[in-house]
Structure 1
Amino acid sequence: MEYFAGLDVSMEETHVCVVDRDGVVTHQAKVASTPADIAQELAKAPACRRVVFETGRMAPMLFHGLADHGVPVVCVESRQAYQALKSLTTHKTDRNDARGLAHLARTGFFKPVHVKSLPAHAVRSLIIARKKLVGQRVTLENQIRGLAVVFGVRLPRALSPAFIEQALRSSEGIAGLSAAMRGLIGARAAVLAAVAAIDADIKRMVRASDACRRLMTIPGVGQLTALAFTAAVDDPERFRRSRDVGPYLGLVPRRYQSGEVDYTGSISKCGDRRVRTLLYEAANVMLTRCRQPLKLKAWALAIAKRSTMRKARIALARRLAIIMHAMLRQGTEFRPA
């Protein structure tokens, strides 16, 4: 007899439900949300062929932890699971959700998702932290400019020592403004130091990665883009074709077809938004700053000529993603044509 399990995970507790091939519940329990406790509880039930839980914040830790304990765990798409679970029971409870996930595991009616490795998640966290800090820096600088312009002082946009000097000079002799300016300038200096430290970490990681160095042979692809793309792909072999990377990153148009209605919309914007943005910026650099004659650039400029520059950048970003994945899988450098 085959058995299947469903896990409904929360921050503190996880509901476990095990069913047999006929859908009869054979084991139910509630344990702490740690891989060791969940594996120990599953060991009390008959050996399961498949253990299913939904994507979420704790998915990477639980997936890799349970896999290390020898549990045949599968992570499924939460949006699809939500629609299926909603139709199975009238009342939504954690216990019912665990039983519903067990039935999904039994029937095979689910979409498995790739759980990235913990090092890939660490790189992604570093990139997200940098983005947040840069956003805070821009917010602080805009606030400083806004305070100064009230008193008739227009500060320069460039990030230079003159920016700080003019900001401090404009606040001299004004009690409240002087304290506010010094506080904001001190916070800006701290944010700049944190960004510089992250940039140094990124530089060291790129130097230690052969894959990143290969990707940087593409004109327009820098350290941040190469590192973010490598972390997003994680395992190049999980994509059957390099063309599948475009839809994965949301760089292909949406399509809706039903009966006589059939139209193509804008790009889907699925997947990692930060990687998609970096690829778009790399495409823009290739189109506007790269002086090297490239067939890839000429192809994108031809699209811009008959359509718009924005569509050309998106098309080039998708093509760059395909090329970068092929380079990762084959271990080759960019060969301009």
Structure 2
Amino acid sequence: MRIVGMDIHRVAAEAVALLEGKLVKLGRIPMLRDSLEAFARTALAKDDHVVVEATGNAAAVVEVLAPHVDRVVIANPKQVRLIAHAKIKTDAIDAAVLAKLYATGFLPQVWVPDEPTLAVRRQVARRTQLVRQRVRLKNLIQSILYTYLVPPCPHGNLTGISGRKWIAAQSSPGPLRAAIRHHLAQIDLIEGSLKEVEADIARATMSDPVVRRLMTLPSIDMTVASGVAAAIGDIRRFADPTKLVGYLGLNPSTRQSGEGPAYHGRITKQGRGQARGMLVEAAWAAARSPGPLRAFFQRIAAKRGKPITAVATARKLAMIIWHMLTKNEDYIWVRPALLARKFRTIELKAGLPAEHAKRGAAYDYNIPEKRAAERAPVEAAEMAYADLTSRWRTRPGARKAAKEKVSAPS
């Protein structure tokens, strides 16, 4: 069995084969689908193992090479220190190091999801990019209004129906109107693309049991559930909730040496950054929804401030998600009418007919009495959690005594 290391870049890749301790250069391959196919057919064998680094085009390389070899492995570049800190560094040397590390069993590998999961990841990433572009254009409109001394818009959505009517009613110079009209036209194009992307996500995840389970959490909608589920993949990869927290980069960094105390700093921000950002957004939503999560948010915010608390709540959400998926259980404080409304939103985005004359379970959310009846036990759980945690406060002088005990000479 040969081990083929490939150092891939945007334009080309360098390939080196390791067989019985000897390295053989296989040449430089252009990073084109036809060139990779030709390389796989002529230079690779069915029992070869190919090793590549995790880059933006690594998934496409795996897709092309996988049918022609026994296995394709993606290495984690942040953990391959022999490559990152090498004094003599060439593409051929990097490819050889990948092959040698894999042969000795010391190569840190990246989990490769299946094609449906990759497709959802791509669509969620595309939606995030479109939302950022829309925010940027809205900020440009705000800056133009500010430059020409136009008062702030009294409506919540500047680019909505009411906001656009308000902009049209303002007396402003011709260049101002032309610039704003241009940006609004771009926003319309982006929102059209957003609807298409969200429809694709809805169709792909409408019947996914993992996505539907995650949506039982009050602060998680279809987009967050799809993004987090696609980032996690198989929950069995994580032996305990702290492993999932670390994978999402929500664990605090730690510095400790010798017999000194451990110091904890900011979160590591390693792993799936997009899923981490979505969980932080869900944490802000949890702060506005009744339940124990809101009580947790308020308790931490009183001591550490809201930005730090949002990250702590996102970490709490990740741990809850691990328990839910591992035990195959929904969130205990789920609100049925709210959940039915979320599911119905997915169906509508996927293109199912509206059926206005038919009132299903989602309609109960529009009835104030039923909505209040569902909120009552959740609010009671929130109060019970707040009452329980209020007794966790440190006794007067206990924290100071603990510090003196640690600093006292032995």
1:42 shift after superposition? 4.2
Which residue pairs with 1:288 in the alignment? 288
Structure 2 unmatched runs, 5+:
334-380, 382-410
Letter in 2 for 1:267: I
Which residue pairs with 2:212 in the alignment? 213
- Aligned equivalents of 1:276 and 1:286: distance in 2? 15
Structure-1-length-normalised TM-score: 0.84
Letter in 2 for 1:333: D
Aligned pair 1:120/2:121, yes or no? no
Which residue pairs with 2:384 in the alignment? none
Instruction: Write the mapping of 1:10-49 to structure 2, written as runs, cut at 5 A.
Output: 10-21=9-20, 23-26=21-24, 28-33=26-31, 34=33, 36-43=37-44, 47-48=47-48
CA 180–51 in structure 1, closer or farther in 2 if over 3 Å, else same: closer
Structure-2-length-normalised TM-score: 0.70
Structure 1 unmatched runs, 5+:
none
1:298 shift after superposition? 4.4
- Aligned equivalents of 2:5 and 2:198: distance in 1? 42
Deviations 1:19-50 (A, max 9, x none): 234x3224533334445334324436x944x4
CA contact (8 A) 1:168 1:181 kept: no
Sequence identity percentage: 28
Instruction: Write the mapping of 1:241-260 to structure 2, written as runs, cut at 5 A.
Output: 241-259=240-258, 260=260
Letter in 1 for 2:93: N
Instruction: Write the mapping of 1:1-337 to structure 2, written as runs, cut at 5 A.
Output: 3-21=2-20, 23-26=21-24, 28-33=26-31, 34=33, 36-43=37-44, 47-48=47-48, 50-81=49-80, 83-85=81-83, 90=88, 92-156=89-153, 157-159=155-157, 160-170=160-170, 174-259=173-258, 260=260, 262-290=262-290, 292=291, 294=292, 297-299=294-296, 301-305=298-302, 307-336=304-333
- Aligned equivalents of 1:144 and 1:179: distance in 2? 11
Deviations 1:64-105 (A, max 9, x none): 443333432221111333x31366672x33223222222222
SS at structure 2 position matched to 1:250: coil
CA contact (8 A) 2:231 2:272 kept: yes
CA contact (8 A) 1:251 1:314 kept: yes
Give the length in aligned residue pairs: 327
Deviates more, 1:110-119 or 1:203-212: 203-212
1:227 shift after superposition? 0.7
CA contact (8 A) 1:32 1:38 kept: no
CA 288–142 in structure 1, closer or farther in 2 if over 3 Å, else same: same
- Aligned equivalents of 2:135 and 2:25: distance in 1? 54
Which residue pairs with 2:398 in the alignment? none
CA contact (8 A) 2:253 2:266 kept: yes
CA contact (8 A) 1:52 1:101 kept: yes
1:188 shift after superposition? 2.4
Letter in 2 for 1:335: I
Deviates more, 1:28-37 or 1:126-135: 28-37
CA contact (8 A) 1:3 1:47 kept: yes
CA contact (8 A) 1:31 1:41 kept: no
